[in-house]
Structure 1
Amino acid sequence: MSQQQSEVIVVGAGPTGLLLAGDLAEAGVEVTVLEKRGAAISNLTRAFAVHARTLEVLDARGLTDDLFALGGNRLSELFLFGSAKIRLGGLDSRFPCVLMTPQYNVERVLRERATAAGARFRFGCKVTGVDQTESRTTVRTDRGDFHAAYVVGADGVRSAVREAAGIPFPGEAVLTSMMLADAELADPPAQSPSVGSAGGAFCFVADFGDGTWRVIAWNAADQQDDDAPVATDEIRTALKLAFGTDFGMREPRWRSRFHSDERQAPTYRVGSVLLAGDAAHCHSPAGGMGMNTGLQDAANLSWKLAAVLRGADPALLDTYEAERHPVGETVLRSSGRILRVAANKSKVVKAVRGAVLGTALRLDPVQHKVTGLISGIDIRYPHAHGEHPLTGTRARDVDLADGSRLYEALRGGRFVVLDGTEPTGAVDVASAEPDGLTRVVRPDGYLGWVGADDPAAVRAYLEARAVTD
Structure 2
Amino acid sequence: MSTAETPKTTTTTDPTDTQVLVIGAGPTGLLLAGDLATAGVDVTLVERRAHGFANMTRAFGVHARTLEQLDARGLADELVATGTTLGTARLFGRLDLDLTRLPSRFNHLLVTPQYEVERLLERRAVAAGVTFRYGTELRGLRQDADTVTAEFTDPDGAPLTLTARHLVGTDGVRSAVRTALGLPFPGGSVIRSLVLADVRLAEEPTDAFSVSGSGDTFAFLAPFGDGWYRVMGWSRTRQVPDTEPVDLDEVREITRRALGTDLGMHDPRWISRFHSDERQAPSYRVGRVFLAGDAAHVHSPAGGQGMNTGLQDAANLSWKLAAVLRGDAPAPEALLDSYQSERHPVGAAVLRTSGALVRLAMAHTPLTRAARSLAARLLSAVRPASARAMGMISGLGIAYAPPAGSRRPAGRRAPDARLREGRLYELLRAGEFVLITPEGGIPALPPTAPVSPERLVRATWTDPTRRTAVLVRPDGYVHWTSR
Normalising by structure 1, we get a TM-score of 0.93
SS of the aligned residue for 1:445 comes to coil
State which of 457, 465, 474 in structure 2 corresponds to 1:428: 457
Displacement of 1:241 in angstroms is: 1.7
State which of 12, 24, 48 in structure 1 corresponds to 2:60: 48
Does the CA-based 8 Å contact 1:199-1:241 persist in structure 2? Answer: no
Q: How far apart in 2 are the matches of 1:356 and 1:57? A: 31
Q: Deviations over 1:165-189 (max 9, x none)?
A: 1111101101111111111111242
Aligned partner of 1:129 in structure 2 is: 140
Aligned partner of 1:61 in structure 2 is: 73
How many residues get paired? 450
Equivalent positions of 1:215-294 (< 5 A) are: 215-294=231-310
1:155 aligns with 2:184: no
Identity within the alignment, %: 51
1:28 aligns with 2:40: yes
Amino acid at match of 2:19: E
Q: How far apart in 2 are the matches of 1:326 and 1:351? A: 30
Aligned partner of 1:112 in structure 2 is: 123
Equivalent positions of 1:360-371 (< 5 A) are: 360-371=379-390
Q: Deviations over 1:266-319 (max 9, x none)?
A: 100001110000110111111111111100000000000011111232331100
Equivalent positions of 1:263-412 (< 5 A) are: 263-311=279-327, 312=329, 313-347=332-366, 349-350=368-369, 353-354=372-373, 356-384=375-403, 386-402=405-421, 404-412=422-430
1:13 aligns with 2:25: yes
Amino acid at match of 1:95: F
Aligned partner of 1:437 in structure 2 is: 468
SS of the aligned residue for 1:251 comes to strand
Structure 1 stretch displaced more, 194-203 or 34-43: 194-203
Q: How far apart in 1 are the matches of 2:149 and 2:375? A: 54
Unaligned 5+ runs, structure 1: 453-469
Displacement of 1:117 in angstroms is: 0.5
Displacement of 1:107 in angstroms is: 0.5
Q: How far apart in 1 are the matches of 2:187 and 2:180? A: 19
Amino acid at match of 2:130: A
SS of the aligned residue for 1:149 comes to strand
Q: How far apart in 2 are the matches of 1:181 and 1:295? A: 24
Structure 1 stretch displaced more, 76-85 or 222-231: 222-231
Q: How far apart in 2 are the matches of 1:358 and 1:435? A: 41
Does the CA-based 8 Å contact 2:471-2:478 persist in structure 1? Answer: yes
Displacement of 1:216 in angstroms is: 1.0
Structure 1 stretch displaced more, 195-204 or 78-87: 195-204
Does the CA-based 8 Å contact 2:403-2:479 persist in structure 1? Answer: no
Q: Deviations over 1:207-247 (max 9, x none)?
A: 11111111111112112222333222221121122122222
Displacement of 1:361 in angstroms is: 2.1
Does the CA-based 8 Å contact 1:45-1:103 persist in structure 2? Answer: yes
Amino acid at match of 1:56: E
Aligned partner of 1:165 in structure 2 is: 181
Amino acid at match of 2:442: T
Displacement of 1:131 in angstroms is: 1.4
Displacement of 1:438 in angstroms is: 1.1
Displacement of 1:347 in angstroms is: 4.6
Does the CA-based 8 Å contact 2:196-2:233 persist in structure 1? Answer: yes
Displacement of 1:76 in angstroms is: 1.3
Q: How far apart in 2 are the matches of 1:244 and 1:199? A: 14
Q: Structure 1 pair 92/199, CA: closer, same or farther in 2 (3 Å)?
A: closer
Q: RMSD between aligned alpha carbons? A: 1.7
Does the CA-based 8 Å contact 2:378-2:385 persist in structure 1? Answer: no
Q: How far apart in 2 are the matches of 1:41 and 1:248? A: 29
Amino acid at match of 1:116: A
SS of the aligned residue for 1:6 comes to strand
Displacement of 1:385 in angstroms is: 5.5
Does the CA-based 8 Å contact 2:190-2:278 persist in structure 1? Answer: yes
